[in-house]
Amino acid sequence: MLDASSRFPALPATPGVGYKPQHFNDIVENPGTVGWLEIHAENYMGDGGRPLAQLRALAERFPISVHGVGLSIGGETPLDPDHLARLKHLIGWLNPASFSEHLAWSTHESAFLNDLLPLPYTEDTLARVCAHIDQVQEALDRPMLLENPSSYLAFAESTWSEPDFLREVSRRTGCGLLLDVNNVFVSATNLAYDPRSYINDFPLDAVGEIHLGGHDEDEDEHGAPLLIDSHGAPIVDPVWALLDHTLALSGPRPVLIEWDNDVPAWPELESEAARAADALSKVPA
Amino acid sequence: MSRQSAFRAAILDAERPAPPDLQDGLGRSATKRFNVYRNNVAVSLTEALEASFPATARLLGDENFRSVAGRFLRSSPPESPLMMHYGAGFPDFLASLDALAAKGYLADVAHLEQALRAAYHAADHAPIAPDALAHIAPEDLPETRFGFAPAVCLLGSEWPLLSIYRLALDPKAPKPRAETQSVLVARTGYDPLPHLLPPGGLTFATALMAGQTLGDAAETAAEASPDFDLSTCLACLLSAEAITAILP
């Protein structure tokens, strides 16, 4: 049993990276500006082996953020009790500095679709999401963070703006928010609104973590730009500028570099983290 | 049909139209936007299968693998968010395809890769010392039983399974010969490894894992295979870190 609670009670306002097993030795020997690590919960729910051994070793040295991709918080059907139990087990022995999940759904009628699928922002969705978050926070006995999604499309029936919807979820459940600045840029481009206005409207006091990542560029059948959240490329300059805009309003926050596909060698990932450290260093505490 | 039922159905069936009431930011149609989700699901699940079944994918070729994986993921989407388990039914799915009947070894290779993946995530084990058997009185040996590591899996095949698997991943590996091969999958430390079982080894190890004594398992194996050699088979199990306990 590992008790990291006294060592790392919270994520520091420094850069972190999404942990990839191929970087284990580099991270231990040369973390550079990286002060914490994020793991995907579902990759550490096996019975044993190297993934859990590496996680135990890393948790001795770094604050860990557990980021779930499989709870289906926005699902129309009840949360999967088996999955919630697995999550409770992981959070229980690891005692991470943070746990976060997504404003999205992924499981329906016993199929897990392995993607973060979109929700209409209605009263029904709000009630369901809040009930599920209450259930998770009660099971885990800790507050969680909820992340804003990348949007490719909108629902005619939505009656809430996304920042207002997330503010209300946070107000009703007491959960914190994870602000993915790349997702804001992707969604704003795709749905033709101003990303800075979104950030200005966002309840930044509730933000416990910021995400940054790369995206791909395409266009839709009308010739309009269609950005796709790929986590497989360097972060583009307009997203770095949006981070500066965000940090100037929010103050320093833990900033994560997410790079999940076509993962680069450690020096390239670490240089993205160093750029985030620069951005953080310009912000008055 | 609920919104998510309609979404789920359209994601898994490209012949269906996109669900209604989806739009872009200006209230226009959003067909291509919906297709981003269709594509994300198909590509991410295909890549998950390819990562878990790399030799199977090489043997099929890129185009065939993507086609077979696409059929599999539509008929058997994941039942749990643990992608480390996704595709456990893929080997049997391959065996059921008439189009692949001429490649009978494919399903066996997929079963081997499934066993290697399961071993990677299996509970940790502490193997007995290589000389542990030397400390047992000779008269007690025939009545000895063994406990096995959670990672251990035995695979019989009518094909040169291990040679086909190795050649698929390494073009410089020796060419398979016309023979049958049985394989032991176990974990050395944290590394899952396949081991070629000596003659009679499959029968022997299967009997031991079923709880038979060393004496009974050796007798069963000798009857099944005239070339069975007890010390060779025991050495294989010990060096593979398959045995974790000597049971009274």
The predicted structure's pLDDT at residue B1:
79
Q: What is the DSSP string of B75-131?
A: HS--SSS-GGGTTTTHHHHHHH-GGGTT-THHHHHHHHHHHHHHHHHSPP--PPPTT
Query: What is the average per-residue pLDDT within A132-160?
Result: 97
CA distance, residue A106 to nearest chain B CA (Å): 9
**So what's the ipTM on this one?**
0.94
The predicted structure's pLDDT at residue A7:
67
The predicted structure's pLDDT at residue A285:
77
Residue of A nearest to B12 (CA): A113
Within 13 Å and on the Cβ side, how many CA atoms surround B137?
A: 4
Residue of B nearest to A40 (CA): B82
* Cβ contact, residue pair B45, A114, below 8 Å: yes
Question: Is pLDDT of A4 > 60?
Answer: no
Q: What string of pLDDT tens digits covers the 248 residues of chain B?
A: 799 999 999 999 988 999 988 999 999 999 999 999 999 999 999 999 999 999 999 999 999 999 999 999 999 999 999 999 999 999 999 999 999 988 999 999 999 999 999 999 999 999 999 899 999 999 999 999 999 999 999 999 999 999 999 999 999 999 999 999 999 999 999 999 999 999 999 999 999 999 999 999 999 999 999 999 999 999 999 999 999 999 97
What gap in Å lies between CA A199 and CA A250, rounded to an integer? Answer: 10
Among partner residues A80, A113, A192, which is closest to B25 by beta-carbon distance? A192
Distant-in-sequence, close-in-space partners of A189: CB < 8 Å, separation ≥ 6: A195, A225, A227
Question: Is pLDDT of A104 > 70?
Answer: yes
Residue of B nearest to A221 (CA): B32
pLDDT band at A1 (very low <50, low <70, confident <90, very high): very low
> Is residue B230 exposed (0-12), middle (13-18) or buried (19+ Cβ within 10 Å)?
middle
Note the pLDDT tens digit of each residue in A191-225: 999 999 999 999 999 999 999 999 999 999 999 99
CB pairs under 8 A between A and B: 146
The predicted structure's pLDDT at residue B52:
98
pTM of the model: 0.95
Query: Measured between CB atoms, does B7 come within 8 Å of chain A?
Result: yes
Query: What is the average per-residue pLDDT within A123-152?
Result: 98
* Cβ contact, residue pair A152, B30, below 8 Å: yes
* Cβ contact, residue pair A114, B78, below 8 Å: yes
Percent of chain B past pLDDT 90, that is, above it, reads 95
pLDDT band at A58 (very low <50, low <70, confident <90, very high): very high
CA distance, residue B178 to nearest chain A CA (Å): 35
Q: Report whether A2 contacts A95 (CB < 8 A).
A: yes
Q: Report whether B108 contacts B114 (CB < 8 A).
A: no
* Cβ contact, residue pair B123, A154, below 8 Å: no
What gap in Å lies between CA A75 and CA A86, rounded to an integer? Answer: 18
The predicted structure's pLDDT at residue B20:
86
CB neighbourhood size of A240 (10 A)? 19
Residue A84 DSSP code: H
pLDDT band at A2 (very low <50, low <70, confident <90, very high): very low
Among partner residues B78, B81, B119, which is closest to A69 by beta-carbon distance? B81
Query: What is the average per-residue pLDDT within A89-105?
Result: 97
- Residue-averaged pLDDT of chain A: 96
CA distance, residue A185 to nearest chain B CA (Å): 14
Among partner residues B27, B29, B37, which is closest to A117 by beta-carbon distance? B37
Q: Report whether A217 contacts A261 (CB < 8 A).
A: no
Point out which residues pair with A255 in neighbouring strands: A15, A210
Note the pLDDT tens digit of each residue in B201-247: 999 999 999 999 999 999 999 999 999 999 999 999 999 999 999 99
With beta carbons under 8 A apart, name residues in chain A contacting B8.
108-109, 111, 113
Closest CA to B22 of A155, A189, A151, A191: A155
Is residue B90 classed as helix, strand or coil in its secondary structure?
Answer: helix
Query: Measured between CB atoms, does B88 come within 8 Å of chain A?
Result: no
Q: Which amino acid is at A223?
A: G
Residue of B nearest to A75 (CA): B4
